[in-house]
Structure 1
Amino acid sequence: MSGAGLRFSRNLADADAIAYHLEACSTSFIPPLNERVAIPTYADKLARRAERFEAWQGDRLVGLVAIYCSDGGDAFVSNVSVLPEAARQGIGRHLVADAIAHARRCAEAMTLQVDRRAPALTLYRSVGFVPMGEDGDTLTLRLDLRRDAGCCG
């Protein structure tokens, strides 16, 4: 899959498109996503409640970042996924950057949880996330948006 015809959007995907995408990405997660959540239920929740940053190629959702923002508190990254055949093309980085830019307007920090063996850990660290806790193989990472935005010392 090449970057040709790639378009970025927000909140266009419905629950079915999200579920199809997450099923296709499930084994890219550590442990696989379908072993941790009921994908149709999770997709429906994301479609109804999350702010979604999407990458599309034609009518196919190839990348998805979903966050929850609470005014003045933390934004929580619930999902970062890119279809395996679209990986390593900068799609995830682009979507994460869009989510960070959005979160700067509604939150003081952004957090996420990731398995310490996940390849995405490199991406998160490269954009400024730092460890703030761990539980077994699960790391909680945080990005201070106030400092990152240059407003606070």
Structure 2
Amino acid sequence: MDVIDYEIKKASQKDLYLHLEMCDHLFVPLLSDKVNLHDYAQKIYKKSQTFEAWHDKKLVGLIAVYFNDSQSKKGYITNVSVLENYINKGIASQLIKMTKEYAKNNDFTKISLEVHSKNKNAITLYKKQGFEIENKKEEALFMEFRIKNN
């Protein structure tokens, strides 16, 4: 595979929408069953920090994080997605590493996320990256990564 370029906050709102649309079928349950993709792309564009993987000018991997809780210093991952042909190539792991580095450099203490209990691949990825299950509610698992600022 050719070189993957990693960027922070490069994607346009249209890039985000097209990426989410192409990844929709990979979500458990479908992302479009939970949110309006156009509105969600707009919210991510305006309110989140994005960590992106690009190949041939196409957004192939995305993590969107809300780092807007300056009181608790806790970031919240709202989206992790990688295009189907790019899965299992280390892209999500690299994007999570970028997310953790950003959080540490900006004095955040935790990063949390929610994942469907049936999404075994995502749960395995998050556990490998140091996330721990903090809570369960119905079919949702709430996971957290604690930043070590030393």
Give the TM-score normalised by structure 2. 0.93
- Displacement, 1:97? 0.6
Structure 2 residue aligned with 1:97: 97
2:107 counterpart of 1:106: yes
SS at match of 1:132: strand
| Cross-structure match for 1:127 | 129
Alpha-carbon shift at residue 107 of structure 1 (Å):
1.2
Counterpart position of 1:142: 144
Mapped partners of 2:145, 2:55: distance in 1: 29
What is the rounded CA distance, in whole Å, between the counterparts of 1:68 and 1:59 in structure 2? 25
| Structure 1 segments unaligned to the other structure (5+ residues) | none
Please state whether the residue corresponding to 1:35 is helix, strand or coil: helix
Q: How many Å separate the matches in 2 of 1:56 and 1:135?
A: 35
Q: Alpha-carbon deviation of 1:127?
A: 1.1
**Which residue identity lines up with residue 58 of structure 1 in the other structure?**
D
- Kindly provide the amino acid, as one letter, of the partner of residue 121 in structure 1: I
Q: Is 1:59 the equivalent of 2:57?
A: yes
SS in 1 for 2:10: coil
Question: Which residue matches 2:85?
Answer: 85
TM-score by length of 1: 0.91
Q: What one-letter code is carried by the residue in structure 2 that aligns with 1:81?
A: S
Displacement after TM superposition at 1:15 (Å): 0.8
1:46 maps to which residue? 44
Matches of 2:45 and 2:56 in 1, distance apart? 20
Which digits, 9 at most, give the CA deviation of each residue in 1:34-83, with x for residues without a partner? Answer: 11100000001111111000000111100000101123521000110000
SS of alignment partner, residue 13 of structure 1:
coil
Q: How many Å apart are 1:92 and its aligned residue?
A: 0.4
CA distance in 1, matches of 2:20, 2:28: 13
CA distance, structure 2, for counterparts of residue 80 and residue 32 of structure 1: 13
Task: Provide closer, same or farther for how the CA distance between residues 15 and 124 of structure 1 changes in structure 2, counting only shifts above 3 A.
Answer: same
- 1:106 to 1:43, Cα distance in 2 relative to 1, 3 A: farther
- Residue 3 of structure 2 aligns with an amino acid whose one-letter code is G
Backbone CA RMSD of aligned residues:
1.1
Structure 1 runs of 4+ with >3 Å offset: none
Structure 1 CA distance for aligned equivalents of residues 55 and 145 of structure 2:
29
Residue type of the partner of 2:126?
A: Y
Q: Report % sequence identity.
A: 27
